[in-house]
Copies of this chain bind each other. A is one copy, B any other.
Amino acid sequence: MYRTKTCGELRASDAEQIVTLAGWVHKNRKMGGMTFVDIRDRYGITQLIFSAGLCEMANKLGREYVIRVTGTVKERSNKNFNIPTGEIELEVSELTVLNVSATPPFTIEDDTDGGDDLRMKYRYLDLRRNAVRSNLELRYRMTIEVRNYLDKHGFIEVETPQLISSTPEGARDFVVPSRMNPGQFYALPQSPQTFKQLLMVSGFDRYFQIVKCFRDEDLRADRQPEFTQIDCEMSFVGQNDVLDIFEGMSKHLFKSILGIEIEEAFPRMTWHEAMKYYGSDKPDIRFGMKIVELNNILKGCGFTIFDTAAYIGGICLQGAANYTRKQLDALTDFVKRPQIGAKGLVYARVETDGVKSSVDKFYSQAVLQHMKEAFAAQPGDLILILSGDDVMKTRKQLSELRLEAGNQLGLRNKSTFACLWVTDFPLFEWSEEDQRYYAMHHPFTSPRPEDIHLLDSNPGAVRANAYDMIINGVEIGGGSIRIHESGLQNKIFRLLGFTQEKAQAQFGFLINAFRYGAPPHGGLAYGLDRWVSLFAGLESIRDCIAFPKNNSGRDVMIDAPSYIAQSQLDELNLSIVHVH
């Protein structure tokens, strides 16, 4: 070993010991006849002091040089209590430069002067920054605690294959040409869904895997072409069993990682309630501000926009009656942005002497008071109202407005966490375009037993035995109880417009497996990247991934993807079709 101690472990009690440290030159400054150097490694920073003979050499040390020093630990007279090693410094008697460094293109500090592109290109330097490295350390600790918890609960981790076959349903697959099977392709898994179900058929009983998954989709801040799932499945369970086990895992993570003890059970909200009160299937319940439907109150008073709307709803911002005209205009612009698409925003200030709205000429004070009561609003509150022709669309607009208002009012503190389960999703989604139903999750999701009788008469009303775990408005995980009886499975395939041949072609191995004694089973998958970024308080999942890709799917550091040799293409029996 090049060192006897790390740069993070020396304390006053080590005074007068002779030690050897190795690390990077973090800072270098002359003072009087002496030179002070901060040496840094993963574990911390230690102040080195060079005097007399070594000063000249020490003065030449550049930022990020790799050095080894031997010296005597000295208790500092002017202690720095901001860092764990601040009680001591090392009086260096021997200095070796292990490696030099060019000047880094940005500073290795929490507040670096490097922009995103530069940091990504030199990711190996970016990773030297505490802020980035600590995200990866957090990620590692989370995987340890996930494994601890699941191991204690009898789960075993099984590696499922990464080279599988492509299924046309669902998102786009990445494919891998097979040299040994010309013209054929493997696909990289979007999730180990079918394999974990096969493991249940195999009697593995409780499976998990922390596993890379791949999806060839257009990217945005919280999407990467490769991402990591905590994938889980259990046999002989119903929905409550799954929720209990994984609520327990979440609480274990909150406690062991963040030191937050969550005593009470996570709220469980149906999809229908979530849409009604939050306009979202992933409500942020750190704050109330529930959506209130106003159709009964505001219709029929002569305001044409509301009178002809299919839906009118609003939210109440406590204490925001003092919003300026400018702030209200900004909120109007916000909801009119194409991504949100509302036509306009109606507001009403609740004041001690009455409610004053932007549509006062249509509404009597009696109606406005009625509205005020519907929100249980108090003087000083601000009511914001949207309307539209499409109930769901308007609710979603209200959801965006609610989140924006929550931001403005400081109700979405990153160090406060609010978890819940959303359950009872619709089993099917109707596609106007294709005039057919699609499975909202996947075709193996089971309907709620009490809704099975609706499968023929009203498939759109059938609720799934499916559930999502939401933290602070982010979908952290989701899953379902699966179908294990072939009769029911065949019925669902028929409803989804699969012929028996098509079902067999796409899911044959799973359907066949189910013929040999499939147990009742269900599970879920968590998005590790999202969970880590939530715990770390990050805006994007990128900073909890060591080597992420940009929005074009490129790794700008290694410059991937790249062109390959003609000989490689030849071996794979492929040619590139040039784009004109």
Give residues in A with beta carbon < 8 Å to B: 1-3, 22-24, 40-43, 64-66, 68, 98-102, 104, 122-125, 127-128, 133, 136-137, 139-140, 143-144, 147, 151, 156-166, 168, 172-188, 194-195, 198-199, 201-205, 212, 214, 216, 218, 225-226, 228, 236-238, 241, 484-485, 508-509, 513, 515-520, 545-547, 549, 552-555, 557-565, 568, 570-579
Given contacts A140-B156, A159-B545, A241-B1, contact A575 B575 (CB under 8 A): yes
Residues of B close to A161: CB separation below 8 A: 226, 546-547, 549, 555
Residues of B close to A545: CB separation below 8 A: 159
Interface majority SS on A: helix, strand, loop or mixed?
A: loop
11 of the cross-chain contacts (CB-CB < 8 Å) are: A42-B203, A100-B517, A133-B204, A140-B156, A162-B214, A163-B174, A163-B225, A175-B177, A175-B572, A187-B564, A574-B574
Given contacts A101-B515, A181-B553, contact A127 B204 (CB under 8 A): yes
Contact A236 B1 (CB under 8 A): yes
Residues of B close to A519: CB separation below 8 A: 22, 24, 66, 98-99
Given contacts A2-B520, A484-B99, contact A573 B574 (CB under 8 A): no
Chain B minimum-CB-distance residue to A1: B241
Q: Which of B40, B147, B185 contacts A147 (CB 8 A)?
A: B147
Contact A563 B183 (CB under 8 A): yes
Contact B158 A136 (CB under 8 A): yes
Contact B133 A175 (CB under 8 A): no
Given contacts A99-B484, A175-B568, A484-B99, contact A202 B125 (CB under 8 A): yes
Contact A198 B124 (CB under 8 A): yes
Residues of B close to A508: CB separation below 8 A: 559
Residues of B close to A176: CB separation below 8 A: 174-176, 188, 561
User: In the assembled complex, how far is the CB of residue A126 from the closest CB belonging to chain B, in whole angstroms?
Assistant: 8
Residues of B close to A577: CB separation below 8 A: 570, 573-575
User: In the assembled complex, how far is the CB of residue A574 from the closest CB belonging to chain B, in whole angstroms?
Assistant: 6
Given contacts A176-B174, A576-B574, contact A181 B516 (CB under 8 A): no
Contact B40 A516 (CB under 8 A): no
Q: Which of B164, B184, B203, B520 contacts A40 (CB 8 A)?
A: B203
Residues of B close to A156: CB separation below 8 A: 136-137, 140
Contact A547 B195 (CB under 8 A): yes
